[in-house]
Amino acid sequence: MRFHAEAKRDRYDVVVVGAGVGGLTAAAILAHAGRSVLLVERHDRLGGYAHAFRRGRYLFDSAVHLVGGCEPGPFEGSGLIHQLLSILGVRDRCAFARIDPCYTAVYPGLSVEAPCDFDEFLRAYAEEFPSEQKALRQFLQECLNVRQEARRAAQLASAYDVMSSPDRFPTLLRYRRATLSNALDAHLASPRLKTALGSLWPYVGLPPSRASFLYYATMLMSYIADGAYYCRGSFQRFADALGEALTMRGGEVLLRSPVRRIRVERGRVTGIVLENGQRIDAPLVISNADALQTIEELVGEHAFPERYMAGLRSLKPSLSAFVTYLAADLPLPSAIRHHETFFFPSLDHDEAFRDSRAGAPSWLTITVPTLADPDLAPHGVHLLVLTTLAPHRVEGGWRADKERMTARMLGLAERYVGEDLGGRSRLIESGTPRTMERYTRNAEGAIYGWELSPAQVGPARPGPRTPVEGLRLVGHWTQPGGGIYGVVSSGIQTARGVLDAPGETAPWDAL
């Protein structure tokens, strides 16, 4: 790929602001459909939260650990990412390693492994909780129904089509206001089983009592029904493959180029201005940047109706994360055997969430990407990524608190795995919520855009269209929500909304 300091032309059909996975997906599809596309990114590489960084001979993913749907699967609509890369002609750029079990969750007196296969998952949990076998099957079937209906709903033009088709979307409509706890309580009796099935709550950033059941079920099924994957060579490869799909079709990428302003005249987008002063005309601008930043800083809120602004301001961002990156000498402690292990201090997820929100996390996940891809580090070394959720602000600021928090993460890890990981590490580095914000400009370092509560997912988020003609949104601040699977869906949805021509069929209609 060739990157330029200035756009080659002064006019494009479409400018995409931000090269997160949502922006990349939309840009690549639009270029594939024959539009002239300019993708502008302020960072020096593609991917947003999906970017990777090097420290000496170690290659770390900055954030992303696991993505569903990277290979064909057994269910309707399985393998979304595989299909997308295939249509764009870059499937061979990514080698995905299947992660099985997709996660392990360890509690005092309880440890569960989640096989990366629907029937195996059911069998594993039924073995641990035999008296609830039937109810468990019903609950998981309901999760699968959510996923299937959500895939079909994504192909519709608007949320109104879902609301007006109760026969086609009974599960989405039944659970649209349900939390994960509501759905678990409706099916299951055992508190331990309910806790175990909610183990993946950090992946939606809210505990079961507050997380949207629809979003949780879709995310869980994207792993256990579709398959969970790690991209060999880091998820940077996945972002780069989407970038290559764009440039292969004549699209252009500008890195290290913050967009200063999105120009709007008489209620219509007319183009952008780069930080270097270059003015570029375009009748369509798609923003992958934080939604409020797009509106308040890049356009100016005067261009938007008050009602739209009030709606946006009523939404709550998701929590951020604190991440500690380690390069540790072998062997791995015996408590860590798989790619992703969650360690919780008790069966109470609400308490764990409260601890994180207060800046005193009591739980963490330990990811070991070198189990799936040993080439990320030299022989004899494993990369370990310790992640917990954390608030945007702590007393005294993150700059002052980073060291204390890193020590806390190492202390937690040591307590859970019973070994001194810090002492065996050749490299220890941390990213705070402020780091997340600095690299992506996501407000408050939010990891999934708006919080994934029932009131803020799917059609309850701002749609890809905005009141300003020619301005669209893409990524985790718009529909359907956060996570790579979510923003790929968003990229497809936003591009499809631009391209929709009645009577015409296109390859991405199948996605």
Q: For binding to ligand FAD (CB under 6 A), which residues are involved?
A: 17-23, 40-43, 48-50, 63-67, 258-259, 288-289, 321, 323, 387, 436, 440-442, 447-448, 475-476, 482-485, 487
Phi, psi of 118 (to 5 degrees): -55, -50
For tokens 């993150």, the residue is: 398
Quick one: 66 or 196, whose CB is closer to ligand FAD? 66
Q: Nearest approach, Cβ of 318 to ligand FAD (angstroms)?
A: 9
Closest residue to ligand FAD: CB criterion: 20
For tokens 């880091």, the residue is: 234
Q: Nearest approach, Cβ of 131 to ligand FAD (angstroms)?
A: 33
Q: Nearest approach, Cβ of 45 to ligand FAD (angstroms)?
A: 9
Quick one: 122 or 352, whose CB is closer to ligand FAD? 352
How far apart are alpha carbons 330 and 67 in whole angstroms?
26
Q: Nearest approach, Cβ of 186 to ligand FAD (angstroms)?
A: 27
Q: Pick left, alpha or beta for residue 27 (phi over 0 → left; psi -120 to 50 → alpha; otherwise beta).
A: alpha
Quick one: 63 or 214, whose CB is closer to ligand FAD? 63
Quick one: 137 or 441, whose CB is closer to ligand FAD? 441
438 Cβ contact partners less than 8 Å away, ≥ 6 residues apart: none
Quick one: 40 or 409, whose CB is closer to ligand FAD? 40
Q: Nearest approach, Cβ of 166 to ligand FAD (angstroms)?
A: 30
**Strand pairing category for 364-367 and 340-343:** antiparallel
H helices, E strands: number in the chain: 16, 20
Rounded alpha-carbon distances, angstroms, from residue 199 to 168, 192, 346, 347, 434: 30, 11, 11, 9, 26
Quick one: 65 or 187, whose CB is closer to ligand FAD? 65
Name which of 403, 411, 306 is nearest 364 in CA terms.
411
Per DSSP, the three-state class of 378 is coil
Quick one: 194 or 496, whose CB is closer to ligand FAD? 496
Q: Going along 310-424, which residue ranges are E strands? A: 320-329, 340-343, 364-367, 381-390
Would you tell me the crossing angle of helices 118-128 and 133-154 to the nearest 10 degrees?
Answer: 150
Quick one: 421 or 488, whose CB is closer to ligand FAD? 488
Q: Nearest approach, Cβ of 395 to ligand FAD (angstroms)?
A: 22
Q: Nearest approach, Cβ of 40 to ligand FAD (angstroms)?
A: 5
Name which of 433, 376, 409, 93 is nearest 242 in CA terms.
93
Q: Nearest approach, Cβ of 19 to ligand FAD (angstroms)?
A: 5
Confirm if 239 and 248 have CB atoms less than 8 A apart.
Answer: no
